[in-house]
Amino acid sequence: MSAHLEFPESHTVTFRLHVNGEEREVSAEPRTHLADVLREHCGLTATHLGCEQGVCGACTVEIDGVPQRSCLQSATRFEGREIRTLEAFENDPLGAALRRAFSEEHALQCGYCTPGMLITARDIVQRLPQADEARIREELAGNLCRCTGYRGIVRAIQRVLETYPHESSDGR
Amino acid sequence: MKAIDYRIERASDVAGAVEALQADPFAKPIAGGQSLGAMLNLRLAQPECVIDIVGLDALKGLRIESDEMVIGPLVTHARLEDGRYDDATGGMLAHVAAGIAYRAVRNSGTIGGSICHADPAADWIAATAALGATFDIQGPDGTRQVAARDFMTSAFETTLAEADVLTAIRVPALGDTARWSYRKFCRKTGEFALAIVSGVVDGQTGIERLVFSALDGAPVVIERAGLFDELAEPDARQVLLDDDALSISGHRRALHAGLLADVIADIRGTA
Ligand SMILES: Cc1cc2nc3c(=O)[nH]c(=O)nc-3n(C[C@H](O)[C@H](O)[C@H](O)COP(=O)(O)OP(=O)(O)OC[C@H]3O[C@@H](n4cnc5c(N)ncnc54)[C@H](O)[C@@H]3O)c2cc1C
Ligand code: FES
Ligand code: FES
């Protein structure tokens, strides 16, 4: 006996996205948000989904160089934009400095929040080189971590702010 | 949850957006998507069609025109926060913008979207009422202007009709000696406020305005509020807070009371 499932008709559209320096052609329903397209259609699973309401920050990616939620907008709206997920920062010096500091300061346990944390951390280091602990905590308010209690994350970002030379890694 | 199946149409100009909205009573405009996106995912909004206005240049940018700032509804919170524009509000816009949500939300969320969404705790709803702003609206019957204080009618309800588009936010310039204060109480940084109080005083124009917001419905605006005389007295403040017109419920009254004292101290320069 086999189950027969009936799905409603779907209305997919085909569009192009520029993800991590590569051109991608994607077919998806317009309602599909960017995070689902990155994960399910591009195989880029570093971007996590927690709340799909903009609150937890796990889905934060870089759009045209600045952090944005990827759970709140249809992927089709990102045509022509420069999308970068955590995977893009593998060989990036600031990315490497942040990963090392996160590891050394115990800034992650389960790792669910970590991709969003690293994207936000990058923004803090580049935009607010003078940030003190209070400012770092304020900026991290949009990224929830259920494991670490944040101290390690704050220390990791502080360490990178102190040690990483303040010219940005990609000339911006 | 995931949004219902909807289609997206890109508007090519404001008139086109109005037309598209008129053609489909279940259509909704989308700007930064930071409120509508969450509503779609939660299925609190189930439009058949979403009209994307984010590419419309006519709704972007920010300029000073004689004695007012004209702000495009698509200007993001982050752009206002960063303050790299001619400011006629003595820094109030940047201060308010910086306190909205989180940077990743501010990078996409727009001042116009915030106003049209009309959350009772939305910061631009309160701040534009305090600044005495006026909104330009374009609809099927042409354009009209509505004062910020008359725009929101109740929680998430405004005077916008179904096919109306907000096209500009006009903020009167404050004089050199003007003072402003914007205070809110949030349980957590970036969360919607439980209480908002704002004051704007401008000797040059004779404005002495007080706004209570994050109430059950629209903000309450009080002109000639007596920030320098009557309200210096705690007793008078209590009478005001207990007034039925404000209808501030329960524990929130204590939050508003605390913020009111701070606003008065800010305005009088004794903070
Ligand atoms: C986690 C989180 C926390 C937040 N915290 C706060 C906060 O503390 N304070 C605060 O004020 N806001 C907060 N917000 C909301 C945020 O400010 C949104 O950016 C804003 O409410 C909506 O702007 P938008 O451009 O994203 O609009 P959208 O989500 O695109 O649209 C919102 C509504 O406005 C309509 N609309 C948009 N533009 C127009 C227009 N020009 N004409 C007619 N209708 C229009 C849409 O149809 C929709 O109904 C928060 C959001 C999130 C996700
Ligand atoms: S999944 Fe996007 S903010 Fe939580
Ligand atoms: S490490 Fe588990 S949620 Fe942050």
Question: Could you tell me if A127 and A161 lie in one domain?
Answer: yes
Question: Could you tell me if A135 and A77 lie in one domain?
Answer: no
Question: Could you tell me if A115 and A128 lie in one domain?
Answer: yes
Is 70 exceeded by the pLDDT of residue A69? yes
Q: Which of residues 63-92 of B touch A (CB under 8 A)?
A: 78
Question: Could you tell me if A63 and A127 lie in one domain?
Answer: no
**Which tokens sit at B151?**
């725009």
Q: What is the DSSP string of A76-129?
A: GGGTTSEEE-GGGGTT-HHHHHHHHHHHHTT--SS-SSHHHHHHHHHHHHHH-T
Q: How far apart are CA A120 and CA A135, in angstroms?
A: 13
Is 60 exceeded by the pLDDT of residue A168? no
- Of A53-62, B49-58, B190-199, B247-256, the one with minimum mean pLDDT is B247-256
- For A67, phi and psi rounded to 5 degrees? -70, 140
Q: Is B94 helix (H, G, I), strand (E, B) or coil?
A: helix
Q: What is the DSSP string of B129-193?
A: HHTT-EEEEEETTEEEEEEHHHHEEETTEES--TT-EEEEEEEEPPPTT-EEEEEEE-SSTTSPP
Q: How far apart are CA B172 and CA B67, in angstroms?
A: 6
Question: Could you tell me if A96 and A79 lie in one domain?
Answer: no
Q: How far apart are CA A124 and CA A135, in angstroms?
A: 9
Query: Could A142 and B102 be called an inter-chain contact, meaning their C-beta atoms sit closer than 8 Å?
Result: yes
- For the segment A76-81, the average pLDDT, to the nearest whole number, is 98
CB-based contact (8 Å) between B49 and chain A? no
Q: A172 pLDDT band (50/70/90 cuts)?
A: very low
Q: What is the CATH number of the domain that holds A108?
A: 1.10.150.120
> CA torsion angle for B70, B91, B158, B117 (degrees, to 10)?
100
Asked if this assembly's ipTM is beyond 0.95, the reply is: no
Q: What is the DSSP string of B72-88?
A: -TT-BHHHHHHT-S--S
CB-based contact (8 Å) between A121 and chain B? no
- Using a CB-CB cut-off of 8 Å, the residues of chain B touching A138 are 189
% of chain B at pLDDT higher than 70: 99
**Which tokens sit at A14?**
């085909």
Mean pLDDT value across chain B: 95
Q: How far apart are CA B96 and CA B112, in angstroms?
A: 14
Q: How far apart are CA A151 and CA A107, in angstroms?
A: 7
Q: What architecture (CATH level 2) is domain B60-172? A: 2-Layer Sandwich (3.30)
pTM (2 d.p.): 0.95
Domain B179-268 has CATH 3.30.390.50: yes
From A43, A9, A47, A11, select the one nearest A27 (Cα to Cα).
Answer: A11
Is 70 exceeded by the pLDDT of residue A169? no
Strands B49-52 and B62-65: unpaired
The response to whether residue A70 sits with its C-beta less than 6 Å from ligand 3 reads no
pLDDT 10s digits, B158-215: 999 999 999 999 999 999 999 999 999 999 999 999 999 999 999 999 999 999 999 9
